[in-house]
Amino acid sequence: MQQRVDTIDVSEPVAVRLAWAVHNGLGFAFTLAWTAAWISLALLVIAATGRRALALRMAARCWAPGLLGGAGARLVVEGADGIDWSKPRLLACNHQSVIDICALFRAVPVPLHFLLKQEMARVPFVGWYARACGMLFIERDNPRAGPRLRREAAAQLRDGHTLCLFPEGTRSRTGAVAAFKGGAFQSAIDAGVEVLPVAIEGAGAVLPPGGFRVRAGTIRVRFGQPLSTAGGAGAAGRQALAEAAHASVVALLRGPA
C-alpha cells in the first residue's frame, strides 16, 4: 500500500497535531510491517503447498483483522447470511478507501479474488501476493487489454472463484458513488454467473483517500440481492447490468427503507 503520511488539520492545537502525527506514523509503520510479514508467510505457503485458497483465507483471517483492529475500525456485516456462497459470483462494490479490501476479505466467507488496477502489480509485496494468488489486473490505458481481461475473469468465474470489482474505477473522495463502468460486467455475462452488489460505508472516514490519516470508526459492508445476467447481450446488456448494480449499491448505502 503506497500511502503518504498526511499532516493534521492546522486548526487543531500543536500538541494535538503532534500526537496525531505520531499516531499515524506508527500506524503506517505497523501497516507496512504487518503486510510484509503476512504476505511473506502466504507466499511461502503457496510455494510449499500450491494452495492459493489457503493464502487467500490467511488474508481474511489474519492480515485483514490486524489492520482493521490497528485502525480502530469496527466491522459490521449485513446481508451475508442470505447469500449462497457456494456459487461463484462477480461482486460489484463501491470504493472509498484502501481499507475496503481488508473489510471485504473479512466480510466474504469464501476465498476472494480482486480485479485490481495495473499500478498495484508494481507495489512490493502486494503485487507479488496478488499475482501469486491469481488476481487480475486492469490496464486502463491499454484498450487491447480489455477483451483479454474479460476472458480471464470469465474463466475464473467458470472455475468457481468469487471475484470482486470496483467498477467506479477509482476511490471516491466525497462518498458519492460514481457511475459504474460496464466493461468488466461482460465477464459475468460470459460466465453465466450472477452479479452481487456490495456497499461499503464508513471506510472513507476511517482511512480517507489521498493520505494515511487514520480515525477510529465503524465500517459497514452490506450485501444486496444478486442480479441475474441471463439475457444480457452486447454493450447494451452489460451497461444495463452496470446501471442495475450501481442503483442497488446506492440503495444499500441509504440503508433500510
Instruction: Give tens-digit pLDDT for 22-62.
Output: 888 898 999 999 999 999 999 999 999 999 999 999 999 99
Handedness of CA 138, 188, 190, 232 (dihedral sign): negative
Is residue 6's pLDDT more than 50? no
Alpha helices in the chain (DSSP H): 14-49, 52-58, 64-70, 100-107, 126-132, 145-158, 185-191, 203-206, 234-254
Looking at per-residue confidence, does 188 or 138 come out higher?
188
CB 140 within 8 A of CB 118: yes
Summarize pLDDT for 107-119 with one digit per residue, the tens. 999 999 999 888 8
Round to whole Å and give the CA distance between 238 and 236: 6
Is residue 4's pLDDT more than 70? no
- The one-letter amino acid code at 122 reads R
Q: Are strands 112-117 and 162-165 parallel, antiparallel or unpaired?
A: parallel
Q: What is the pLDDT of residue 213?
A: 87
Closest CA to 205 of 71, 63, 32: 71
CB 125 within 8 A of CB 38: no
Q: Which residues pair with 222 in a beta bridge?
A: 78, 199
Task: Kindly state the average pLDDT of the residues 79-95.
Answer: 96
Q: What is the pLDDT of residue 5?
A: 40
Geometric angle at alpha carbon 129, from 195 and 91, rounded to 5°: 10
Q: What percentage of the chain exceeds 90 in pLDDT?
A: 68
Q: What is the pLDDT of residue 12?
A: 66
Closest CA to 226 of 125, 66, 80, 98: 80
DSSP symbols for 65-95: HHHHHHTTEEEEEESGGGS-TTS--EEEE--
How confident is the prediction for the chain on average, in pLDDT? 89
Q: What is the pLDDT of residue 142?
A: 76
Round to whole Å and give the CA distance between 219 and 202: 5
Is residue 143's pLDDT more than 60? yes
To the question of domain 14-254 being in CATH 3.40.1130, the answer is yes
Round to whole Å and give the CA distance between 48 and 63: 20
Handedness of CA 185, 189, 192, 196 (dihedral sign): positive
Q: What is the pLDDT of residue 173?
A: 78
Q: What is the pLDDT of residue 3?
A: 44
Q: What is the pLDDT of residue 257?
A: 53
Q: Are strands 73-78 and 195-201 parallel, antiparallel or unpaired?
A: unpaired
User: Exposure of 77 by Cβ count < 10 A (0-12 exposed, 13-18 middle, 19+ buried)?
Assistant: middle
CB 216 within 8 A of CB 72: yes
Q: What is the pTM of this model?
A: 0.88
Domain boundaries, the chain: 14-254
Is residue 161's pLDDT more than 90? yes
